[in-house]
Chains A and B, each alone.
Chain A
Amino acid sequence: MPDIATVADRKRLSVRGVTHSYGGQNAVSEISFDVEAGEIVALLGPSGCGKSTVLRAIAGLIQPKAGRIVLGDDDLAHISARSRGIGMVFQNYALFPHLTVSENIAYPLACQKVPRGERKARVEEMLALVRLGDYGNRLPRELSGGQQQRVAVARAIAARPSLLLLDEPFGALDRALRFDLQVELLHLQKTLGITTLIVTHDQEEAQSLANRLVLMNKGNVEQIDTPMAVYDRPKTLFVNTFIGQANMLHGTFTELQTASTNIALDNGFPLNLPRRLNFTVGSKVTVTVRPEEVRLSSQPGENTLPATVTVSVPLGPTLVHDMVLADGSGLRASEVRGPSTLIPEPGMTIFAEIDTARCHVFPAVPESMPSTER
């Protein structure tokens, strides 16, 4: 078996200021990001945020209105989709139903005039790589969803593309299978060292696959960072609420001191943050707190809000508490469940302590703020 890793051509993808519109409405505007050679990057965002448009522009299936897409040293503007040397896995795999698994994998090889003998060897190699050695003569509809997905990946990489694009590749699979296939894809990508861009609306999928995330919302890039940085240091309120869960507390900026900040929450309680923030006094702000940054206690204290427990749900190793604050808004807390953890009764009044060192503050947005998807 020839060593694919040494044959694969590592190239850097650079997207600069890509703008595209459908019928006068901007689908994406000024999208810029890079994917280093051999890196996996995920384009992540809610459906309709324009991530698929970006992917299709890179593949050459649409011509963006403005911007540059550079792969390696080539500006792709004047290279047609068929000559770009890109492999792509489509959302529903788009396996040709009248061709067998082997013929599907051989399709790009035939298009690129690979000699017949070499084609056969390459198909065998691909089948072995995705562990479908005995399935070469099956038709796609005779395979399970997971197997079809692996065939789609094999077809995409068969012609040794310098860039692999995946459009929601795990969307059609059930949860248990998804994780196995993600691990498999990661392993494959590491072996081949192929530059990979994956489009997904599933944050867990993006976090488990990608080195870096490009977060998109409403046609704009909101943040580009590692999965951990995106979770810990979200740049915008959208990123904060889209990645993981976040409670939102609305308030007004009241006082600024050298090393601390005071915020008066709309529900009447004050919050004191142990750091200096750049807001003008009197401006409306939104404080976000992740469930694990809320601690329950039976005594009132500093940065504590009284709340009524609606329900407490054990989710595996954690315990999730849903509460209602005095003004009727919800608050969620989660804690690691131990043998002695007290499970509060519904209706019980409790005090929720906000971890002010870790919560984030954003300028307040109008009520039309898009809610998270999950």
Chain B
Amino acid sequence: MKASGFPYVVPMLMLSVAFFATPLAVLVGFSFSGPGGATVEHYGRFFGDAFNFRVLVSTARLGLETVVGTTLLGVPIALLYWHSGRTTRQVIIFLTLIPMLTSNVVRTFAWIVILGRQGPISEALMALGLTGSPISLMFTEFGLLLAMCQIDLPLIILPLVAILSRTPVQFTEAAQVSGAGPWRILVTVLLPLMLPGLLAGWILVFASTSSSFVTQAVIGGARNVYVPQLIYREVGTLFDWPLASAIAVVLLVSTGCLLVAMTMISRHRRLVGHA
């Protein structure tokens, strides 16, 4: 047997147990706690309210829409990276990483300016004569989606770039010589080769969108409520900690299920090994 690396992970393990596993266990415990012992009453309260269920659905929808949006934006950027020389590659990586290194609050305020009534989107639509009066995308789901796509874009570009930088260009050349056109190459060669990276990116984007709070609260406003805000309301306003815990567990389990499903897909024999 190889020498065990266990002693080296002990510090990290202790940190994890003390500050992650234990609070999580407490949280789960809270969600089942009642005045007369263990109960599923809080879950019943959550699912019993049609509003809560709608919030759950719209959270999942926002996550999926962001996944689609970041994929449509990220795949072309990743392919551009693949075909570029050294300098262009560095520029692409730099531009991808900059938003990640910017404070979330700053990013969100920038989006307020862009989406607002006097913002560039509104001004451009006015100048083109597409709309008579200034419009605001603030507090709309579409505006929020735009912001989320920008904020989460690095999460899909980075895994794709990691995969593509290990993929030789010969694959597209082989397809080309075989008689495949550009679209066929994209669908039958490039996307399958990128799939492991896409799966990783999708997991990250979905988890990030469905659990982030600041952007949703500021750009989505009070009318667009998502699960994280619901939890915040229960904790901060209504002081219903058991219900808040129950919602948190529901969010955790549903995101977890998706994660497991994606991981199982990425274990498919056609996807293993080549990337």
Residues of A within 8 A of B (CB): 59-61, 81-84, 86-88, 90-92, 94-99, 107-108, 111-112, 139, 141, 155, 159
Residue interface mask B233-275, A partner, CB < 8 A = 1: 0000000000000000000000000000000000001110111
How distant is the Cα of A87 from the Cα of B179 in the complex, in angstroms?
Answer: 10
Interface centre among B176, B177, B193 (most CB of A within 10 A): B177
A61/B176 in contact, CB under 8 A: yes
- Which of B1-9, B10-18, B63-71, B166-174 lies at the binding interface? B166-174
CB distance from A79 to the nearest CB of B (A): 12
How distant is the Cα of A295 from the Cα of B177 in the complex, in angstroms?
Answer: 52
Residues of chain A lying within 8 A (CB to CB) of residue B270 = 97-99, 139
Residues of chain A lying within 8 A (CB to CB) of residue B170 = 90-92, 94
Contact flag A88-B273 (CB < 8 Å), given A94-B168, A111-B180: no
How many residue-residue contacts, CB under 8 A, span A and B? 74
Say yes or no: is B181 at the interface (Cβ < 8 Å to chain A): yes
A83/B179 in contact, CB under 8 A: yes
CB distance from A251 to the nearest CB of B (A): 48
Pick from A83, A87, A94, A99: contact of B173, CB under 8 Å? A94
Say yes or no: is B61 at the interface (Cβ < 8 Å to chain A): no
Residues of chain A lying within 8 A (CB to CB) of residue B230 = none
A81/B176 in contact, CB under 8 A: yes
CB distance from B57 to the nearest CB of A (A): 34
CB distance from A57 to the nearest CB of B (A): 13
Pick from A88, A91, A96: contact of B177, CB under 8 Å? A88
Residues of chain B lying within 8 A (CB to CB) of residue A107 = 175, 178, 180, 188
Pick from A86, A98, A139, A141: contact of B192, CB under 8 Å? A98
In chain B between 176 and 225, which residues have their CB closer than 8 angstroms to a CB of chain A? 176-181, 184, 188-189, 192-193, 195
Residues of chain B lying within 8 A (CB to CB) of residue A95 = 174
How distant is the Cα of A198 from the Cα of B180 in the complex, in angstroms?
Answer: 23
Residues of chain B lying within 8 A (CB to CB) of residue A96 = 171, 174-175, 189, 192-193
Pick from A61, A87, A97: contact of B274, CB under 8 Å? A97
Contact flag A81-B177 (CB < 8 Å), given A94-B171, A139-B269: yes
Interface centre among A60, A90, A112 (most CB of B within 10 A): A90
Residues of chain A lying within 8 A (CB to CB) of residue B181 = 82
Dominant secondary structure of chain A at its interface with chain B: loop
Pick from B179, B271, B273, B274: contact of A111, CB under 8 Å? B179
Contact flag A141-B273 (CB < 8 Å), given A61-B173, A92-B168, A94-B170: yes
Contact flag A155-B178 (CB < 8 Å), given A94-B173, A96-B189, A98-B192: yes
Interface centre among B174, B176, B274, B275 (most CB of A within 10 A): B174
CB distance from A210 to the nearest CB of B (A): 21
Closest to B269 in A: A139
Residues of chain B lying within 8 A (CB to CB) of residue A88 = 173-174, 177
How distant is the Cα of A108 from the Cα of B181 in the complex, in angstroms?
Answer: 11
How distant is the Cα of A112 from the Cα of B176 in the complex, in angstroms?
Answer: 11
CB distance from A61 to the nearest CB of B (A): 5
Closest to B196 in A: A98
Contact flag A108-B179 (CB < 8 Å), given A90-B173, A94-B171, A97-B193: yes
Residues of chain B lying within 8 A (CB to CB) of residue A111 = 175, 178-180, 184
A141/B274 in contact, CB under 8 A: yes
Closest to B181 in A: A82
CB distance from B190 to the nearest CB of A (A): 11
6 other contacts beyond A97-B193, A107-B188, with CB at 8 A cut-off?
A59-B177, A82-B180, A86-B177, A91-B170, A96-B175, A97-B270
CB distance from A166 to the nearest CB of B (A): 12
How distant is the Cα of A14 from the Cα of B271 in the complex, in angstroms?
Answer: 42
Residues of chain B lying within 8 A (CB to CB) of residue A90 = 170, 173-174
Residues of chain A lying within 8 A (CB to CB) of residue B274 = 97-98, 141
Q: List 21 A-B contacts (CB under 8 A).
A: A59-B177, A60-B176, A60-B177, A81-B173, A88-B174, A90-B170, A90-B174, A92-B168, A95-B174, A96-B174, A96-B189, A97-B193, A97-B273, A97-B274, A98-B195, A98-B270, A99-B270, A111-B179, A141-B274, A155-B174, A159-B178
CB distance from B71 to the nearest CB of A (A): 18
CB distance from A268 to the nearest CB of B (A): 54
Interface centre among B178, B269, B270, B273 (most CB of A within 10 A): B178
Residues of chain A lying within 8 A (CB to CB) of residue B178 = 82, 107-108, 111, 155, 159
CB distance from A183 to the nearest CB of B (A): 25
How distant is the Cα of A97 from the Cα of B273 in the complex, in angstroms?
Answer: 8
Residues of chain B lying within 8 A (CB to CB) of residue A155 = 174, 178
Closest to B270 in A: A98
CB distance from B68 to the nearest CB of A (A): 22
CB distance from B198 to the nearest CB of A (A): 13
How distant is the Cα of A155 from the Cα of B180 in the complex, in angstroms?
Answer: 14
Closest to B178 in A: A108
How distant is the Cα of A141 from the Cα of B176 in the complex, in angstroms?
Answer: 22
Closest to B179 in A: A111
CB distance from A286 to the nearest CB of B (A): 40
Residues of chain A lying within 8 A (CB to CB) of residue B171 = 94, 96
CB distance from B8 to the nearest CB of A (A): 32
Closest to A167 in B: B170
Residues of chain B lying within 8 A (CB to CB) of residue A82 = 176-181
Closest to A165 in B: B177
Residues of chain B lying within 8 A (CB to CB) of residue A91 = 170
How distant is the Cα of A346 from the Cα of B174 in the complex, in angstroms?
Answer: 54
Closest to A107 in B: B178
